[in-house]
């Protein structure tokens, strides 16, 4: 069996939503101290909907595929739904990750959570 699913390979080779949002409403960064990989998420939010999301990931194939899939899963969704995104959901949407690569999907969950925290902090009434 191949190490990575076709979906992981496809999102790694052709990642969606790569880049920076200059006037982002929320920015979150997550890193893994063991492997040294870093992921940064930028959110554009209007009327509580994720209008746009972009990422920069300096990391392995699984981290890049996880970032790409996570952005696809939250784009166009309400903030409340994006807050519930788990790394398991990201890995499942990628048709699975090898067990020792699950931590790569955790980076996506954490970076999005932090970006949403940043947004909530900035928009506290
Ligand atoms: Fe570190 Fe994948 S090996 S995020």
Quickly state the pLDDT bin for 1 (edges 50, 70, 90): low
Sheet holding 26-31, edge to edge: 26-31, 38-46, 49-58
Task: Express each pLDDT in 70-94 by its tens digit.
Answer: 999 999 999 999 999 999 999 999 9
Calculate ∠ Cα 21-25-26, nearest 5°.
90
CA of 36, closest atom in ligand 1: 1
Q: In a mutational test of the pocket of ligand 1, which residue from 11, 31, 33, 35 has the highest number of ligand atoms less than 8 Å from its CB?
A: 35
The pTM is what?
Answer: 0.95
Query: In DSSP terms, which residues pair with 27 in a beta bridge?
Result: 42
CA of 39, closest atom in ligand 1: 4
**Cα–Cα dist 49/59, whole Å:** 28
Confidence at residue 123, expressed as pLDDT on a 0 to 100 scale:
84
Distance 125 CA to ligand 1 centre (A): 37
Quickly state the pLDDT bin for 24 (edges 50, 70, 90): very high
Task: Express each pLDDT in 32-66 by its tens digit.
Answer: 999 999 999 999 999 999 999 999 999 999 999 99
The yes-or-no answer on residue 60 being catalytic is no
The average confidence (pLDDT) of the chain is 96
């Amino acid at each position: 069996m191949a190490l990575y699913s076709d979906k992981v390979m496809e999102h790694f080779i052709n990642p969606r939503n790569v880049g920076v949002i200059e006037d982002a409403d929320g920015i979150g960064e997550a890193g893994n101290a063991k492997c040294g990989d870093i992921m940064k998420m930028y959110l554009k939010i209007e009327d509580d909907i994720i209008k746009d999301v972009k990422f920069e990931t300096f990391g392995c194939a699984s981290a890049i595929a996880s970032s790409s899939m996570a952005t696809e899963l939250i784009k166009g969704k309400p903030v409340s739904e994006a807050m519930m995104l788990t790394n398991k959901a990201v890995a499942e949407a990628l048709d699975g990750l090898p067990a020792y690569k699950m931590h790569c999907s955790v980076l996506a969950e954490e970076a999005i959570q932090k970006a949403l925290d940043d947004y909530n902090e900035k928009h506290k009434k």
